């Protein structure tokens, strides 16, 4: 769908450029924007490496374990169906911790593993191949996990800070407090809405 949207925008731009006799300006603008995008990505790459390195040091220093200890009781309360399974709870916490530290690339495989652990903990029947069978059915716990993963609280919004720095911001980390407030509020609202919707869905 996105490919169709982008292609449509390009075609419309060229058509209007031809109609208005500004095709040269449109072409030049396209090349200039392409060059600017490459330079932006190169600058973003260096800053991202720096932030990821710092976060990796924090991880090695035990920050992940601290987050795990704080959120383990909360996760058990939010996911009563799998509270008995330490592996599933740990998988969820690892994903949440990665998201909080701005490690989106690491959070993705951790999220997939967490869904598998949740499904296993809930006792899904192995080998079910039906498309809507137990193996492929999103349970309440999985739905709640996906919501929390999507609106996760961002302690260190690495990507946004890097983009602001590359764009020339004099205070790229000045958004931290705002991000904490917004992401925290959205996370709470998402959890509340999920819990409300659970009342209307059978187990």
State the pLDDT confidence band at 125, using cuts at 50, 70 and 90. very low
Q: Are the C-beta atoms of 145 and 115 separated by less than 8 Å?
A: yes
Does 182 lie in the same domain as 116?
Answer: yes
Please state, in angstroms and rounded to a whole number, the distance separating the CA atoms of residues 203 and 191.
18
Instruction: Give this prediction's pTM.
Output: 0.63
State the pLDDT confidence band at 128, using cuts at 50, 70 and 90. very low
Give Cα 195 distance to the centre of its chain.
21
Q: What is the pLDDT of residue 136?
A: 61
| 87: number of Cβ within 10 Å | 14
Does 6 lie in the same domain as 90?
Answer: no
Instruction: List the one residue out of 122, 127, 63, 126 whose CA is nearest residue 88.
Output: 122
Q: What is the mean pLDDT of residues 31-44?
A: 74
Sign of CA dihedral 157, 177, 147, 144: positive
- Top-confidence residue, 168 or 105: 168
Q: What is the mean pLDDT of residues 119-125?
A: 71
Q: What is the mean pLDDT of residues 58-76?
A: 78
pLDDT of 67 strictly over 70: yes
Q: What is the pLDDT of residue 129?
A: 39
Q: Which of 35, 57, 79 is the last residue of a domain?
A: 57
Q: Which residue segment(s) compose the domain that 2 sits in? A: 1-57
Does 104 lie in the same domain as 49?
Answer: no
Does 195 lie in the same domain as 132?
Answer: yes
Instruction: List the one residue out of 148, 149, 156 whose CA is nearest residue 192.
Output: 148
Q: What is the pLDDT of residue 84?
A: 82
Does 128 lie in the same domain as 40?
Answer: no
pLDDT of 68 strictly over 70: yes
Does 156 lie in the same domain as 89?
Answer: yes
Q: What is the mean pLDDT of residues 68-80?
A: 84
Across the chain, how many H-helices and E-strands are there? 8, 0
Does 26 lie in the same domain as 76?
Answer: no
- State percent of the chain over pLDDT 70: 84
Does 137 lie in the same domain as 102?
Answer: yes
- Top-confidence residue, 178 or 100: 178
Query: How many structural domains are present in the chain?
Result: 2
Give Cα 122 distance to the centre of its chain.
25
Q: Which of 23, 38, 57 is the last residue of a domain?
A: 57
Q: Which of 30, 57, 84 is the last residue of a domain?
A: 57
Does 105 lie in the same domain as 22?
Answer: no
């Amino acid at each position: 769908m996105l490919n169709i949207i982008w292609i449509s925008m390009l075609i419309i731009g060229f058509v209007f450029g031809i109609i208005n006799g500004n095709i040269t300006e449109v072409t030049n603008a396209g090349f200039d924007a392409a060059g600017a995008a490459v330079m932006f990505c190169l600058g973003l790459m260096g800053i991202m490496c720096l932030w990821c390195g710092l976060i990796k040091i924090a991880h090695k220093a035990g920050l992940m374990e601290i987050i795990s200890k704080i959120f383990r009781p909360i996760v058990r309360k939010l996911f009563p169906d799998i509270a008995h399974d330490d592996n599933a709870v740990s998988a969820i916490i690892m994903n949440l911790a990665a998201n909080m530290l701005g490690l989106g690339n690491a959070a993705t495989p951790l999220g997939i593993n967490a869904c598998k652990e949740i499904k296993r903990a809930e006792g899904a029947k192995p080998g079910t191949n039906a498309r809507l069978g137990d193996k492929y059915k999103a349970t309440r716990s999985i739905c709640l996990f996906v919501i929390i993963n999507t609106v996760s609280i961002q302690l260190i919004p690495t990507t946004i800070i890097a983009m602001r720095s590359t764009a020339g911001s004099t205070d790229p980390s000045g958004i931290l407090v705002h991000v904490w407030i917004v992401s925290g509020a959205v996370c709470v609202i998402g959890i509340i809405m999920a819990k409300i919707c659970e009342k209307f869905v059978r187990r």
